[in-house]
Amino acid sequence: MNPADPIIEVKDLYKYFGRVKALNGVNLTVDRGRVVVIIGPSGSGKSTLLRCINRLEVPTSGEIWVDGQLLTKNEKQLNEIRAEIGMVFQLFNLFPHLTVLENITLAQKVVRKRSTEEAQKIALSKLQRVGILEKAEVFPRQLSGGQQQRVAIARALAMDPKIMLFDEPTSALDPEMIKEVLDVMLDLAREGMTMVVVTHEMGFARAAADEIIFMDEGLIVEQTTPEALFSNPKHERTKLFLSQILHK
């Protein structure tokens, strides 16, 4: 595990859902501390790629290496690796039967084997970090969408992950709540967290991304810096996609 080695390596990844080909041979490396934004039309396979990285989807073929370990179907190894990969979902997926604090302490206690006091201390510090310390004792349904998503980020961060995956984290939010979530993500990026973000927020990509990837039909079409992609897209499909989303 040389720190110079990439933290995520995806080799020749294929994923079929029945006859539908979601991923058609994807190769990707992510270095430590980098922020990678994946964009592309719906159905281009960007969410599937993200979900393969922590094996919420099982690849049809290909290899995925995370922090020097090849992902296999060994459940014990998978649980250990997943604990190192935080994931934030489009629909938040908070646990509705638990309070905000319990949402954040549960996996710390069960997976990381932390004591209740320690887990709560960490949970409160993460809540403070995402700016909703005062909501620790309420239930998720009493929160706005933006607040729920910030709790979800705090829940993932409390596990001290080495990587954070974001699967369209602002797509289900009302417009006025998008910024509060993006601000938290920008802070994280500045602090050097390794992030892979699937999003349609081009402003975020411009501000935070070290690399931007354009996917279409299960393939990485273009991989470059945000400036290069926005000012000088090389491929026709990239140009078409950018013109569609930027002229809205």
Partner 1 sequence: METEPTYSVIDIPIIGEGKPEPLQNRLRTFPWWFVALLITLALTFFLVLTTQNYREAFTFIAVGLGVTTSISLISYSFALVIGLIAGMGRISRNVLYRNVSTYYVEVVRGVPMLVLIFYIAFVFVPDIIGGVNQFGFFLEELSNGQIGSALAQIENQSFSTYWRAVIALSITYGAFLAEIFRAGIESIERGQMEAARSLGMSYRQAMRYVILPQAIRNVLPALGNDFIAMVKDSSLVSVLAVRDITQIARLFAGRSFRFREAYTILVVLYLTITIILSLSVRIFERRMSRESR
CA distance 3 to 177: 37
Name residues contacting partner 1, limited to 34-63 (CB under 8 A).
Answer: 54, 56
Q: For the CB of residue 112, give the shortest distance to partner 1 in the complex, in Å.
A: 8
Does 15 bind partner 1 (CB under 8 A)? Our answer is: no
CA dist 120 to 107, 155, 188, Å?
11, 11, 21
Smallest distance from partner 1 to CB 238, Å: 30
Q: How far is residue 208's CA from residue 195's CA, in Å, rounded to a whole number?
A: 10
What does the per-residue mask of binding to partner 1 show for 143-162, with x meaning CB under 8 A? Answer: ---------x--xx--x---
33 vs 163, 191, 192, CA distance in Å?
Answer: 9, 9, 5
| Binding region for partner 1 (CB under 8 A) out of 18-26, 27-35, 79-87, 211-219 | 79-87
Give CA separation, 79 vs 71, 91, 199, in Å. Answer: 11, 22, 26
Q: Which of 107, 182, 188, 221 binds partner 1 (CB under 8 A)?
A: 107
CA 169 to the chain's CA centroid? 8
Rule CB under 8 A: is residue 95 a binding residue for partner 1?
yes
Task: Note whether 130 binds partner 1 by CB under 8 A.
Answer: no
Burial of 216 (0-12, 13-18, 19+ CB in 10 A): buried
Note the residues at the interface with partner 1 (CB under 8 A).
Answer: 54, 56, 75, 79-80, 82-87, 89, 91, 93-97, 106-107, 110-112, 141, 152, 155-156, 159
